[in-house]
C-alpha cells in the first residue's frame, strides 16, 4: 500500500548530505567567538572614553593555602606579607616587649591568680573583701560599715555607738549618721585605732574544759587558745558553748553575720546530742516538744527524739533555735535529769564531720555564702 500523503519518510542525514540536499551545520562556536569579540570591542571603546578618570587602587588579593592540620597550625594561614592592614594589626597585638601575647597562657595565669596559686596574688576569697579592706583604702565608706568591717560590731549596733559619741575620726567625735570615712582617715574607738580587716570564718570542734570567751580574768583556758594560729585577724566566737559542752563553734570578724546568726528572729538551727544519767521517758520528750515553762519563760524544742534506733534511751537528740544561756541543760534538769555530756553536732548547717576534737578549719566560699543566705 502507498503511504499516506501526510507522512514523510525519515531522512537519512548522511545520505542526504552526500547528495547535496542538506546544508552544512552552522559553526556555533565561531558565532559565539564573533559575538564575544564584538562585546569586547564595545568594552574597549568605553574604557578609552574613561581614560581620563583615575582608577581606584585596591590592596593586593590575599593568597590562601591549605593547612596541614596534623601539625596543629590552626585554620587557613595568610601568607600575604605585603598586606599593610595585617601588619598594622600584628603591631597592635604585640606587647611592650615586641612579642605576641600568649593568650592561652594569660588565661591560665588569670585563673591561677583568682585562686591564689601565684605567689603574691590575692586569692578569690580575699577578692570578695573588696567591700572590706580594699574599699576602705581606695574610696569612701560609711562609718558604721567601717566599724563592722573592723570586727567591732554589726552596722546596726555601730549606729548606736556613733550616736553615743564614742567614735572618733581624725581626733573628732562623730555623731552624724551616714558619715563617710575618706581614704587616709584615722578611726578611733575605745582608745584604739581601728583598721579594716578581711572577713575570716573559722570552725572549731570545741573540746570540754574550755571557756567560750576572748579573755578570762581568772586566766583559765579559753577557746581563743585553740585557734590562736588560725589567722592574724581579730576574730571572736559566734554565740557561746558552756565550759563542759563540746562541739561546733564558729568564729568570725563579720559583725553583720554574727548578729544574724545570734538574733532570735533568725531561728538558726542548732542540734545537740544529750547524754543523761537515766532513761528519758517518752512522755517527757513529748512535753519538751510541746513546751516547758522555765524561770525565764516558755521554751520548746523544734524536734526531739531518741538517738539512733532508740535502744539507748539515755541518749537524746534535740533540735532547738533558742540561744538562751544553758537552755538545753536547764530543760532536762527541769524534768529531773542530769546531763552527763552535751555535744553540739550542728550549728547553722555546719557540722563537725572530719574535724577532730580540738581542731579547726577555715570555711570555704560556698559555706560562707550559705551562711549569708540564712
Residues 286 and 166 in one domain: no
CA distance 351 to 363: 11
Please provide residue 122's backbone torsions phi and psi, each rounded to the nearest 5 degrees: -80, 145
Phi and psi at residue 175, to the nearest 5°: -120, 0
362 and 218 in a single domain? The answer is yes
Residues 6+ apart with CB under 8 A from 131: 145, 149
Instruction: Evaluate if residue 16 carries a pLDDT over 80.
Output: no
Domain co-membership, 219 together with 359: yes
> What is the CATH number for 304?
3.30.2350.10
Range of the domain at 225: 201-263+354-372
Report residue 224 CA to chain centroid gap. Answer: 30
pLDDT single digits (tens) 214-257: 888 888 999 999 999 999 888 999 988 999 999 999 999 888 89
What is the structure's pLDDT at 31?
53
**Per-residue pLDDT tens over the stretch 146-160:** 888 887 888 888 899
The tally of domains found in the chain comes to: 3
Q: Provide the pLDDT for residue 130.
A: 41
Q: How confident is the model at residue 139 (pLDDT cuts 50, 70, 90)?
A: confident
Helices (runs of H) and strands (runs of E) counted in the chain: 13, 19
Q: Are residues 361 and 259 in the same domain?
A: yes
- Of 115-129, 172-186, 268-282, the poorest mean pLDDT is in 115-129
Compute the distance between CA of residue 333 and CA of residue 337 in angstroms, rounded to an integer: 5
DSSP character string of 319-364: EE----TTHHHHHHHHTT--EEEEEEEEETTEE-TT--TT-EEEPP
pLDDT (tens digit per residue) in 29-70: 555 555 555 555 555 555 555 555 555 555 555 555 444 444
Together in a domain, 232 and 287 = no
Residues 365 and 239 in one domain: yes
Decide: 59 and 84 in contact? Cβ < 8 Å: yes
Q: What is the structure's pLDDT at 103?
A: 46
The dihedral of CA 93, 94, 95, 96: what is its sign? negative
Cell numbers representing residue 371 in the block: 551562711
Tell me which residue of 177, 196, 186, 189 sits closest to 130, measured CA to CA: 196
C-beta neighbour count of 10 within 10 angstroms: 6
Predicted confidence at residue 145, as pLDDT, reads 87
- Between 358 and 263, the more confident residue is 358
* 182/290 same-domain check: no
Q: Is residue 58 part of a domain?
A: no
Same domain, yes or no, for 277 and 299? yes
Checking if the pLDDT of 121 tops 90, the result is no
Do 296 and 316 have their domain in common?
A: yes
Of the candidates 173, 172, 182, 142, the residue with the CA atom closest to the CA atom of residue 159: 142
Residues known to be catalytic: 242
Alpha carbon separation from 161 to 58, 120, 239, 308 (Å, rounded): 75, 37, 21, 48
Q: Which of 140, 257, 274 is nearest to 200 (CA)?
A: 257
CATH number where 159 lies:
3.10.290.10
Work out the mean pLDDT of the chain and round it to a whole number. Answer: 76
Is the domain of 359 the same as that of 231?
yes
Query: CATH number of the domain that 368 lies in?
Result: 3.30.70.580
Helix (H) or strand (E) holding 288: helix 282-290
pLDDT at 124 over 50: no
Q: Please tell me the predicted confidence (pLDDT) of residue 14.
A: 59
Query: Which SS3 state, helix, strand or coil, does residue 307 take?
Result: coil
3-state secondary structure of 289: helix
Residue-wise pLDDT for 312-362, tens only, equals 999 999 999 888 889 999 999 999 999 999 999 999 999 999 999 999 999
Amino acid at each position: 500500500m502507498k503511504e499516506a500523503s501526510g507522512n514523510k519518510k525519515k531522512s537519512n542525514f548522511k545520505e542526504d548530505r552526500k547528495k547535496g540536499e542538506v546544508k552544512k551545520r552552522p559553526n556555533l562556536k565561531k558565532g559565539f567567538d564573533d559575538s564575544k569579540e564584538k562585546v569586547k570591542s564595545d568594552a574597549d571603546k568605553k574604557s578609552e572614553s574613561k581614560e581620563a578618570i583615575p582608577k581606584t587602587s585596591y590592596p593586593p588579593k590575599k593568597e590562601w593555602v591549605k593547612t596541614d592540620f596534623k601539625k596543629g597550625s590552626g585554620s587557613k594561614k595568610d601568607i600575604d606579607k605585603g598586606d599593610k592592614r595585617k601588619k598594622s594589626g600584628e603591631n597592635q597585638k604585640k606587647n611592650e616587649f615586641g612579642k605576641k601575647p600568649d593568650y592561652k597562657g594569660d588565661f591560665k595565669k588569670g585563673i591561677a591568680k583568682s585562686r591564689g596559686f601565684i605567689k603574691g596574688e590575692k586569692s578569690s576569697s580575699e577578692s570578695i573583701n573588696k567591700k572590706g579592706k580594699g574599699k576602705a583604702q581606695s574610696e569612701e565608706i560609711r562609718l558604721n560599715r567601717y566599724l563592722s568591717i573592723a570586727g567591732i560590731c554589726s552596722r546596726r549596733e555601730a549606729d548606736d555607738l556613733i550616736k553615743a559619741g564614742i567614735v572618733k575620726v581624725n581626733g573628732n567625735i562623730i555623731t552624724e549618721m551616714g558619715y563617710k570615712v575618706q581614704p587616709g582617715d584615722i578611726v578611733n574607738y575605745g582608745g584604739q585605732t581601728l583598721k579594716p580587716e578581711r572577713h575570716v570564718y573559722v570552725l572549731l570542734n570545741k573540746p570540754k574544759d574550755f571557756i567560750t570567751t576572748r579573755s578570762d580574768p581568772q586566766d583559765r583556758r579559753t577557746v581563743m587558745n585553740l585557734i590562736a594560729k588560725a589567722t592574724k585577724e581579730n576574730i571572736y566566737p559566734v554565740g557561746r558553748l558552756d565550759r563542759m559542752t563540746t562541739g561546733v563553734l564558729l568564729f568570725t570578724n563579720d559583725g553583720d553575720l554574727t548578729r544574724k546568726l545570734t538574733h532570735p528572729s533568725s531561728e538558726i538551727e542548732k542540734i545537740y546530742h544529750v547524754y543523761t544519767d537515766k532513761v528519758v521517758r517518752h512522755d517527757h520528750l513529748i512535753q519538751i516538744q510541746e513546751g516547758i515553762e522555765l524561770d525565764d519563760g516558755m521554751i520548746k524544742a523544734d524536734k526531739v527524739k531518741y538517738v539512733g534506733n532508740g535502744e539507748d534511751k539515755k541518749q537524746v537528740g534535740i533540735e532547738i533555735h533558742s540561744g538562751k544561756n544553758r537552755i538545753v541543760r536547764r530543760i532536762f534538769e527541769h524534768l529531773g535529769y542530769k546531763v552527763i555530756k552535751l555535744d553540739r553536732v550542728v550549728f547553722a548547717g555546719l557540722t563537725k564531720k572530719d574535724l577532730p576534737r580540738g581542731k579547726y578549719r577555715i570555711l570555704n566560699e560556698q559555706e560562707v555564702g550559705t551562711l549569708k543566705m540564712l
